[in-house]
Structure 1
């Protein structure tokens, strides 16, 4: 049996780049496919912060529905946008080799970093909290839209800079010269990774996609996402996590921040690669037992009001 695999994707430039990358990879393994772009709710509503829309998976929900209705066979996502619990009937089929996990600051000059006043833009609670933790007197304004839209908004406003995922700008080749790496900022769980999902009962697509899976990337992002899931952060709480393979060990660094950035609870751990099965869970429980449970309750209370 062979068929043309219909690849569901958001229709932003970055999402289409990701889908075409998967299409090219499938082609190299002898599988035929076509792209089916779908407009998502997250792209349509640019005025309301994500956490106020009350939905985790705002960028994946439309594609989930299209898959369940049989309109597309697989979907390609930035993995950091995907909820830790997938809808019934949809499964992870492959994690592509991870690109850069870094956050970067695109700026209009860095002198403000030494000053008390400064304004940076981001739509991410995680980035906002970490920025305020390091620069408590600065102002952080909300920034929404796809990467091209956000870059244009930065140019059109008087902000000092805006925070982006390096991978997104690199993939569509719009990373400017005026940036600095934020090496101190802990990335979102699975940042820089691409996830392909399929229907659980679709053996043909799952077998085809298994050829694209990158094992090391999959191990690391699963630890990060398990950490996120146990903390019950969904996609919105200020949670950072990064697992990296160093020799034959996995090094993990995770943290939970208060919304204003004043409080930080973090954990660091290294384990042999064959002993990491519950690493994300254990690190999350350490955070929860060190004050994280109360902090998560306060965060949810604020975001739900």
Structure 2
């Protein structure tokens, strides 16, 4: 184990927490490691909604390049930020044990929920689901790392902002004034951390592979298969959650229109032994029910932004 494993990460507080979690786990197994923080374009450009970049992987692209140019050996990502198709030469090495999957509303009081209100989020998925439930509300764009977004909420006249519970919990920033959004379907792979490595790097793949959590991996793979089958490379308001219950997998997924007025939803159980192709089958059910036409409309509307 004489080789030092260079761990690439975004340099936000949350990303560094995730990378340090991997660093500590690898060192506990006897490996020598080094953190190498890198700024992504998604962190540098904060005046545009993510979908206006026109590409997927805005938070992972810089680390992909660093890995392929041999500046880092592995990279740690929030898995929900990772495109469903990894770049050539980069492979999944491990999925860490999944944390809290739920979204939460950080607010300044909840009286507004049955009236008019302003909610902030940079996510099309969260925006569409919020407007589906609260069509009389306004949803404004919110960008930046977790700390920046919390401060923007504090400094604004918004009623609240939507966050992933896991992100706030990991860096001890979850405030007292929040509501669990149990009705909101999370992003595919929300709450999961992904380690990627070069396909040819057997040493790092073996090292990271020791950290893989199989049950988490099964669930996020189903969710991402659902996402990939639906969106075909387009950013769209899609939620998905797979949970293992005994010897069965429970799945809940949905596709929304950008304005939240349309919703195509699927809820299914399958035997754990029948997991292969489950996400794709759920997605096809939505596409055949009218989701295919909605996806065309979503792609057209995003392209016209």
Common topology (TM > 0.5) = yes
Aligned to 1:237: 236
Q: Give the 5 Å matches for 1:265-304.
A: 265-304=264-303
Per-residue CA distance 1:110-165 (angstroms, 9 max, x = gap): 011121x1000000000000000000000000000000000000000000000000
SS in 2 for 1:265: strand
Q: Report the count of equivalent residues.
A: 304
Alpha-carbon distance in 2 for matches of 1:296, 1:254? 15
Moved beyond 4 Å, runs of 4+: none
Alpha-carbon distance in 2 for matches of 1:120, 1:16? 28
Per-residue CA distance 1:64-97 (angstroms, 9 max, x = gap): 0000000000000000000000000000000000
SS in 1 for 2:197: strand
TM-score, L = length of structure 2? 0.99
Aligned to 2:86: 86
Structure 1 pair 118–233 and aligned structure 2 pair: CA distance change class (3 A): farther
Is 1:131 aligned to 2:122, yes or no?
no
Alpha-carbon distance in 2 for matches of 1:28, 1:248? 32
Alpha-carbon distance in 1 for matches of 2:48, 2:274? 42
Alpha-carbon distance in 2 for matches of 1:235, 1:148? 28
Q: Give the 5 Å matches for 1:28-107.
A: 28-107=28-107
TM-score, L = length of structure 1? 0.99
Q: Give the 5 Å matches for 1:177-216.
A: 177-216=176-215
Shift of 1:171: 0.4
Shift of 1:236: 2.6
Aligned to 2:13: 13
- Provide structure 2 residue ranges, at least 5 long, that are not aligned to the other structure: none
Shift of 1:28: 1.0
SS in 1 for 2:119: strand
Contact 2:234 2:299 in 1 (8 A): no
Shift of 1:235: 7.1
Alpha-carbon distance in 2 for matches of 1:128, 1:282? 26
Shift of 1:188: 0.1
Alpha-carbon distance in 2 for matches of 1:180, 1:232? 30
Is 1:3 aligned to 2:3, yes or no?
yes
SS in 1 for 2:131: helix
SS in 1 for 2:299: helix
RMSD over equivalenced CA pairs, Å: 0.8
Contact 1:255 1:265 in 2 (8 A): yes
Alpha-carbon distance in 2 for matches of 1:269, 1:97? 23
Alpha-carbon distance in 2 for matches of 1:235, 1:63? 21
Shift of 1:264: 0.2
Alpha-carbon distance in 2 for matches of 1:25, 1:66? 22
Per-residue CA distance 1:257-294 (angstroms, 9 max, x = gap): 00000000000110111111010000000010000100
- Provide structure 1 residue ranges, at least 5 long, that are not aligned to the other structure: none
SS in 1 for 2:252: strand
Alpha-carbon distance in 2 for matches of 1:189, 1:153? 26
